[in-house]
């Protein structure tokens, strides 16, 4: 049971359009949220963050002085701010544009206009980040679960590691791409209980990594969870054929990751 509710959230809302700002404010207030500060630029946001930290930042993509991607990268590289949850609200549909912000770690990407229920689900996800609950596994001591995280994005690795830490998983090894991940796993296959990998990576992608583990190393036991922004169904079908245990979208809901971990460990 979480100790805070949606209505308890403090939110920094960044939206240059006065009309859009008003619309989003109405949606947030309808959930009982009263602690909301509305501003219109990235510079204003950074000034606010110097003074106090909200539970959640909700931002448009294109701000007058910077993009939400640039703002989020500055936040993620600041040790005082890097854990703040971030939600994007944008009409942008370009995969390449949105992928950068997915990799940096966001709780949700909502379209403009968005459905209120999607906003409510995203706010629930924010609670999972702000007030995390450890998971309890029947057959494993969660503190001793050893995970190999493979992703070419340092921000993505940091984000995934934070989510795992929040669940009580602390024994985490990181690899910068599939090739490095394979070499680490090849040295001692008994050293890990779970592999979490991205799909799109240089040198060796997630699908190739899975093929090597299932084929070359003949390891059909280790659970492999793929966390990816890939939306090409043909490619994802090939990943399933390669032997992935589960696939989760970026941005991901921590509760979804918890449920997947339950399935692969306590099946």
12-53 residue pLDDT tens: 999 999 999 999 999 999 999 999 999 999 999 999 999 999
Say how far apart CA 162 and CA 170 lie, in whole Å: 9
Structural domain includes residue 88: yes
Q: For 94-98, 132-136, 172-176, which range has the lowest pLDDT when averaged over its residues? A: 132-136
Structural domain includes residue 77: yes
Looking at the structure, do residues 70 and 177 belong to the same domain, yes or no?
Answer: no
Structural domain includes residue 22: yes
* pLDDT computed for residue 246 by the predictor: 85
Q: 61-77, pLDDT tens digit by residue?
A: 999 999 999 999 999 88
Structural domain boundaries enclosing 91: 6-130
Looking at the structure, do residues 98 and 153 belong to the same domain, yes or no?
Answer: no
Say how far apart CA 188 and CA 194 lie, in whole Å: 13
Structural domain includes residue 136: no
Of 130, 156, 171, the residue that ends a domain is 130
Closest of 249, 32, 50, 181 to residue 120, by C-alpha:
32
Looking at the structure, do residues 181 and 109 belong to the same domain, yes or no?
Answer: no
3 state SS of 203: coil
Looking at the structure, do residues 108 and 19 belong to the same domain, yes or no?
Answer: yes
Looking at the structure, do residues 116 and 187 belong to the same domain, yes or no?
Answer: no
Looking at the structure, do residues 158 and 252 belong to the same domain, yes or no?
Answer: yes
Of 90, 108, 130, the residue that ends a domain is 130
Looking at the structure, do residues 116 and 169 belong to the same domain, yes or no?
Answer: no
Question: pLDDT confidence of 267, banded at 50, 70, 90?
Answer: low
Looking at the structure, do residues 35 and 110 belong to the same domain, yes or no?
Answer: yes
Q: HSE of 125 in the Cβ direction (CA atoms, 13 Å)?
A: 23
Give me the mean pLDDT over the 103-116 stretch: 88
Say how far apart CA 107 and CA 124 lie, in whole Å: 9
Say how far apart CA 59 and CA 40 lie, in whole Å: 9
Looking at the structure, do residues 240 and 207 belong to the same domain, yes or no?
Answer: yes
Q: 166-200, pLDDT tens digit by residue?
A: 888 999 999 999 999 999 999 999 999 999 999 88
Tally of structural domains, the chain: 2
Per-residue burial over 227-238, b if 16 or more Cβ lie within 10 Å, else e, is bbbbeeeeebee
Say how far apart CA 20 and CA 11 lie, in whole Å: 16
């Amino acid at each position: 049971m979480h100790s805070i509710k949606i209505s308890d959230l403090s939110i920094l809302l960044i939206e240059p359009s006065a009309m859009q700002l008003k619309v989003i404010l109405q949606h947030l207030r309808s959930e009982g949220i009263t602690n909301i500060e509305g501003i219109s630029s990235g510079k204003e946001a950074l000034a606010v963050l110097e003074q106090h930290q909200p539970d959640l930042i909700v931002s448009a993509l294109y701000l007058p002085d910077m993009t939400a991607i640039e703002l989020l990268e500055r936040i993620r590289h600041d040790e005082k701010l890097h854990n703040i949850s971030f939600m994007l609200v944008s009409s942008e549909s370009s995969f390449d544009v949105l992928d950068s912000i997915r990799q940096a770690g966001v709780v949700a990407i909502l379209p403009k206009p968005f459905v209120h229920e999607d906003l409510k689900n995203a706010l629930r996800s924010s609670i999972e980040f702000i007030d995390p609950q450890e998971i309890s596994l029947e057959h494993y001591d969660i503190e001793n679960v050893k995970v190999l995280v493979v992703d070419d994005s340092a921000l993505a690795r940091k984000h995934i590691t934070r989510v795992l830490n929040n669940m009580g998983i602390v024994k985490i090894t990181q690899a910068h791409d599939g090739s490095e991940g394979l070499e680490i796993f090849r040295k001692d296959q008994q050293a890990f209980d779970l592999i979490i990998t991205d799909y799109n990576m240089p040198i060796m992608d997630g699908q190739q990594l899975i093929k090597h583990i299932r084929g070359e190393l003949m390891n059909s036991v280790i659970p492999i969870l793929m966390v990816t922004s890939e939306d090409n169904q043909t490619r994802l079908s090939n990943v399933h054929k390669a032997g992935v245990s589960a696939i989760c979208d970026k941005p991901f809901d921590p509760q979804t990751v918890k449920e997947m971990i339950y399935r692969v460990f306590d099946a």
